[in-house]
């Protein structure tokens, strides 16, 4: 029987033993902390990393004569990964509810955006809604999973954390603007400005090894958005979806999409924050470092 807690305890034991052998001074401590940060990041994006691997692997090796469409294979794999993470305890049911919510939020937006011609899914699919294969919703779920796992694995704490209701208002405005900017004024510049005002004073404390380290909240959101933008370039290279400008041949996704992912990160972060802040307040774990 899989024991997620036992695995975590064993990994922590080996982590501590490795630190004891390697760390001999400030330089080796810094190098070890950087290595630990990278390992924790990789573990946090387990779902997303698996999906990016599947996008590339199926693009390169999936047989055209297979009885199952490539997009449907991706959907079933994503579903299996999500179920597996729940069964093994790699994600909690509370986290899964939030991830599912972001999945739905993303799928609804996908249906609208493909209808408006913002991007297309070139492959046929049986499991789809309108022209949107169902695996696409799991790409949003990957983002939610990453944030939820990061929050737990890095033991997030905050200085000057904005009121959740204000963050929720911003997240709703961001989501609505993704639809309305096709028909009326695009307010994304105002949303960028408001997000900086809201999150600018906030500092996130994360624990790569033994000690918590600070990072401005806005910087954290931008860095994650940047890595998602890199992942989107891989997704379009693998022809999982394409933008109109890529129909004649692949090229890098416009940097404008980086701003879109920054705003989408806010939606995902707020959804996850509702779960984790509630749990932190209930257990009194959240405290000033």
* Per-domain residue ranges of the chain: 1-44, 45-283
> d(Cα 288, Cα 88) in Å, to the nearest integer?
32
- Kindly give the parts of the chain with pLDDT less than 50: 1, 281-289
> d(Cα 48, Cα 59) in Å, to the nearest integer?
17
Q: What is the pLDDT of residues 124-146, one digit of tens each?
A: 999 999 889 999 999 999 999 99
Determine how many CB atoms are found less than 10 A away from the CB of residue 76: 13
- 53: tokens are 């691997």
Q: What is the pTM of this model?
A: 0.87
The pLDDT assigned to 32 comes to 81
Contact 146, 45 (CB under 8 A): yes
The pLDDT assigned to 273 comes to 92
Helices (H) and strands (E) in the chain, counts: 10, 5
The pLDDT assigned to 251 comes to 87
The pLDDT assigned to 201 comes to 96
Q: What is the secondary structure of 129-183 as a DSSP string?
A: ETTEETHHHHHHHHHHHHHHHHHHHTT-EEESPPPHHHHHHHHHHHHHHHHHTTT
The pLDDT assigned to 102 comes to 86
> d(Cα 204, Cα 257) in Å, to the nearest integer?
25
The pLDDT assigned to 284 comes to 44
The pLDDT assigned to 12 comes to 65
Q: What is the secondary structure of 56-121 as a DSSP string?
A: HHHHHH--TT-SS-HHHHHHHHHHHHHHHHHHTTSS-HHHHHHHHHHHHHHHHHHHHHHHTTS-B-
Q: What is the pLDDT of residues 246-262, one digit of tens each?
A: 878 888 988 888 999 99
């Amino acid at each position: 029987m899989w024991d997620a807690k036992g695995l975590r305890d064993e990994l922590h034991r080996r982590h501590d033993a490795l630190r004891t052998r390697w760390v001999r001074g400030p330089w080796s401590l810094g190098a070890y902390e950087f290595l630990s940060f990278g390992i924790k990041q990789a573990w946090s994006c387990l779902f997303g990393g698996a999906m990016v691997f599947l996008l590339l692997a199926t693009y390169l090796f999936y047989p055209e004569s297979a009885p199952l469409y490539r997009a449907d294979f991706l959907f079933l794999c994503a579903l299996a990964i999500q179920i597996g993470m729940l069964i093994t305890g790699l994600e909690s049911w509370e986290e899964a509810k939030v991830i599912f919510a972001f999945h739905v939020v993303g799928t609804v937006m996908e249906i609208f955006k493909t209808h408006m011609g913002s991007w297309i899914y070139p492959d046929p699919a049986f499991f789809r809604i309108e022209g949107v294969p169902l695996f696409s919703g799991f790409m949003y779920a990957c983002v939610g999973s990453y944030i939820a796992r990061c929050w737990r694995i890095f033991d997030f704490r905050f200085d000057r954390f904005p009121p959740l209701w204000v963050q929720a208002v911003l997240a709703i405005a961001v989501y609505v603007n993704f639809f309305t900017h096709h028909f009326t004024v695009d307010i994304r510049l105002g949303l960028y400005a408001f997000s900086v005002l809201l999150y600018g004073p906030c500092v996130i404390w994360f624990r790569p090894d033994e000690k918590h380290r600070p990072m401005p909240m806005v910087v954290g959101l931008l860095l994650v958005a940047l890595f998602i933008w890199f992942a989107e370039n891989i997704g379009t290279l693998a022809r999982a979806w394409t933008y109109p400008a890529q129909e004649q041949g692949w090229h890098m996704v416009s940097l404008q999409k980086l701003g879109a992912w920054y705003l989408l990160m806010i939606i995902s972060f707020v959804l996850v924050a509702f779960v984790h802040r509630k749990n932190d307040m209930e257990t009194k774990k959240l405290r000033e470092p």
